[in-house]
Chains A and B, each alone.
Chain A
Amino acid sequence: MQQFYKILKIDVVNLCLEPAFVFFSIGFPVAGALILGFLSSGSYGNTVSSYDYYGVAVLFFGVSNAATFSANSFMEEKIKSANMRIIYSPVPKICIYLSKVAAAFIFCSLSCVISAVILHLLLKVNYGGSLAWGPFVVMLCSVFFFSAIGVLVCCFFKSESITNQIISPIIALLCLIGGVFFPIEGFGKWVVLASWLSPVKWMLTSCAEIIYDRNFTLFLPTVGILTGLSILAILISSKLFKGEDYL
């Protein structure tokens, strides 16, 4: 436990010390919500503003980028040699990838909360008022899910550049059909059905139901499925992770 804590601490510090990462994880959701909200602000009325939509939706694009963060902190060139040393030291191997999942989780949760607070103060984005803990829990589970997925893809392909090649388009696609960039429900029946394949859609819908209907029906299934899938992803990673072919 002590060893895990030490590795985790270094991983979190590594993520926080990269200025591009910090700028990206906080600045991007705020800028995205601002620009997209501003662009479509004219077509919304008084009850719900366009910022309310994009403030919630673009935040989930930030959340899904947790996969890139965990992949980068796992496979980065600088960290590879340090990880190689850990493999040969008397530390359980699980510490290596689990600490990357945990570090990306801590870093992304923090930056998402900060961007949500900024958006709330700046644009009065509605996160549900007294029920804001609901979307907050959904967001935490989503960050955990994407962090685990990032490490899983790394363990599967065993190469950082391939992981980078595959992860960004897939995140973009999941967000696109999940309705992050424009309301996907306005499209035809089959697209709406297909959109349920994207976990981002579950996250967004359950958050919208909590915020606008005070309805928690989708909350438990979403949280449960996301946590289950994350644990499954970690278990598969532990099967796939072999220290020897790490280089």
Chain B
Amino acid sequence: MIALLAVLKNNFYRLMSHKSRIFLCFGLTLGAVLASVFINNSSVTALKVAIVSNNQAEIVSPYLNITYVDIPPSSSELFLGKYDAVVTYSEERGYEVETIKNETFKAKIEAILKNPLSYAPESESIRQIGTSIIGFLTMFILMQGVSTMYLFAEDKEYAQIGRIAVSPVPFSDYLLGHCVFTFLFLLIPTLSVVCFVKYICRIPVGFSFLEYLFLLSVICVLATAFALFIQALIKNGDSANMIGSVVAVLTSILAGSFYSFEENNRALAVIVNVLPQKIFLTFADLLEKNSNIGVLLPHIILLVLISLFFFLTALFITNKTYVVSALRQQKEGTCV
């Protein structure tokens, strides 16, 4: 316990020698929150269709966002997703739909065009604002976690860790100290930025303060454990940083932090569903839709177990690389 506090205190002084880091952290977090609010407020659920025609009645449908054009859009505009489909109308052949999407999608557009008023789409679960913000912050906090573990990476780089390994300090206390520090460094800026946006800018952010406190704590614990795990797995601090942030980006995107991919593939859906971010997002979604505690609890237990797994694995690996080898060298009389 004393060792833990000592590590915390020491890390705090080391952080204070790089004050720009703190400002950067606040700035980046503010950017992430504002970007998520901005993107979420202007997302469009209607399908974008371009109609090539010169004379015809206007089609009104809440499910279509129609642009009338004289020249058909180029295929690169379809490729980049500017339009979901291009529709050509002629007296003889009626509507002709051209799209790069699949047949089901084409049939859906045709159905809406034939009968714009009576078309009812299958109800899709739309994510609410709180979950969207949390989704954005998930990737961001995971990335920040990896780079905040730099103090531990520095310890490895400058061989401080070897000295701690041979000292009577319990190694788990030392790692826990780094974890608590990273956790606080992640949680405090994020929480204060969210409060700033919620109470001072008066932008609706979905959850209440306590809910945010809880959700952000959970994701910060996960990010800290993940960062420690990556730093323990890869010895070189820079490589660990690089690989950790890329893994965070890729898995967050797969888990649908920003954009839910349609799950057409059973095998991959299983893999995506066990990603911690996906479990976390499902949890946030359920919380926002006011589910009862019985539904929420399993998700939380799973997340805690995953974090614990990361931490214990990291402890095992670092213990093996540093403590055991240091003790052996001590016994053999060779210096570290």
Query: Chain A: residues with CB nearer than 8 A to chain B?
Result: 18, 20-21, 24, 28, 31-32, 35-36, 38-45, 47-48, 52-53, 65, 68, 72, 76-77, 157, 159-162, 164-166, 168-169, 172-173, 176-177, 179, 181-191, 194, 204-205, 208-209, 211-213, 215
- Is B35 in the interface zone, CB < 8 Å from A? yes
Contacts of B12 in A (CB 8 A): none
**CB-based contact B42/A190 at 8 Å:** yes
The residue of chain B having its C-beta at the shortest distance from the C-beta of A48 within the complex is B100
**CB-based contact B259/A39 at 8 Å:** no
Output the least CB separation between B320 and chain A (Å): 20
Question: Are A35 and B81 also in contact (CB < 8 A) when A43-B105, A161-B150, A165-B24 are?
Answer: no
**CB-based contact A208/B265 at 8 Å:** no
Question: Are A72 and B238 also in contact (CB < 8 A) when A24-B243, A182-B258 are?
Answer: yes
- Is B285 in the interface zone, CB < 8 Å from A? no
Output the least CB separation between A27 and chain B (Å): 10
Please give me the 4 A-B residue pairs with the lowest Cβ-Cβ distance, nearest first.
A42-B264, A183-B81, A188-B42, A20-B239
**Residue contacts A-B, CB under 8 angstroms, 28 given:** A24-B239, A24-B243, A28-B246, A32-B250, A36-B253, A38-B265, A39-B261, A41-B265, A157-B20, A159-B18, A161-B147, A161-B153, A161-B154, A162-B20, A162-B21, A166-B28, A168-B143, A168-B147, A168-B241, A169-B144, A172-B139, A172-B249, A173-B31, A181-B258, A185-B77, A187-B39, A188-B41, A212-B76
The residue of chain B having its C-beta at the shortest distance from the C-beta of A172 within the complex is B249
The residue of chain B having its C-beta at the shortest distance from the C-beta of A161 within the complex is B150
- Is B221 in the interface zone, CB < 8 Å from A? no
- Is B222 in the interface zone, CB < 8 Å from A? no
**CB-based contact A40/B143 at 8 Å:** no
Query: What separation, in Å, do the CA atoms of A20 and B244 have in the docked complex?
Result: 12
**CB-based contact A209/B74 at 8 Å:** yes
Question: Are A186 and B35 also in contact (CB < 8 A) when A47-B100, A162-B18, A208-B79 are?
Answer: no
- Is B254 in the interface zone, CB < 8 Å from A? yes
Contacts of A43 in B (CB 8 A): 101-102, 105, 262, 264
Question: Are A42 and B20 also in contact (CB < 8 A) when A169-B143, A212-B76 are?
Answer: no
Query: What separation, in Å, do the CA atoms of A169 and B258 have in the docked complex?
Result: 15
- Is B68 in the interface zone, CB < 8 Å from A? no
Output the least CB separation between A51 and chain B (Å): 12
Question: Are A42 and B106 also in contact (CB < 8 A) when A21-B239, A169-B143, A172-B143 are?
Answer: no
- Is B236 in the interface zone, CB < 8 Å from A? yes
Question: Are A188 and B44 also in contact (CB < 8 A) when A166-B24, A168-B245, A169-B140 are?
Answer: yes
Output the least CB separation between A21 and chain B (Å): 7
Residue B243 contacts which of A20, A181, A215 (CB distance < 8 angstroms)? A20
- Is B196 in the interface zone, CB < 8 Å from A? no
Contacts of A31 in B (CB 8 A): 250
Contacts of B38 in A (CB 8 A): 190-191, 194
Output the least CB separation between A102 and chain B (Å): 20
**CB-based contact A40/B262 at 8 Å:** yes
Contacts of B78 in A (CB 8 A): 48, 212
**CB-based contact A40/B261 at 8 Å:** yes
Contacts of B28 in A (CB 8 A): 165-166, 169
Query: What separation, in Å, do the CA atoms of A168 and B248 have in the docked complex?
Result: 11
Question: Are A42 and B82 also in contact (CB < 8 A) when A24-B242, A162-B20 are?
Answer: no
**CB-based contact A185/B81 at 8 Å:** yes
A48-B78, A166-B24, A188-B42 are known; give 7 further A-B pairs, CB within 8 A: A40-B261, A44-B102, A45-B101, A52-B79, A76-B238, A168-B143, A213-B74
**CB-based contact B261/A184 at 8 Å:** no
Residue A213 contacts which of B39, B48, B75 (CB distance < 8 angstroms)? B75
Output the least CB separation between A154 and chain B (Å): 12
Residue among B154, B242, B264 with the most chain A CB within 10 A?
Answer: B242
**CB-based contact A186/B48 at 8 Å:** yes
Output the least CB separation between B12 and chain A (Å): 16
Contacts of B148 in A (CB 8 A): 165
**CB-based contact A45/B243 at 8 Å:** no
Give B123-152 interface residues, CB cut-off 8 Å to A. Answer: 139-140, 143-144, 147-148, 150
Residue B76 contacts which of A39, A172, A187, A208 (CB distance < 8 angstroms)? A208
Residue B234 contacts which of A20, A35, A168 (CB distance < 8 angstroms)? A20
Query: What separation, in Å, do the CA atoms of A76 and B153 have in the docked complex?
Result: 13
- Is B11 in the interface zone, CB < 8 Å from A? no
- Is B157 in the interface zone, CB < 8 Å from A? yes
Contacts of B77 in A (CB 8 A): 185
- Is B99 in the interface zone, CB < 8 Å from A? yes
Residue among B99, B140, B238 with the most chain A CB within 10 A?
Answer: B238
Output the least CB separation between B268 and chain A (Å): 6
**CB-based contact A165/B147 at 8 Å:** yes
Give B172-222 interface residues, CB cut-off 8 Å to A. Answer: none
Contacts of A213 in B (CB 8 A): 74-76
Contacts of A21 in B (CB 8 A): 239, 242
Query: What separation, in Å, do the CA atoms of A194 and B78 have in the docked complex?
Result: 20
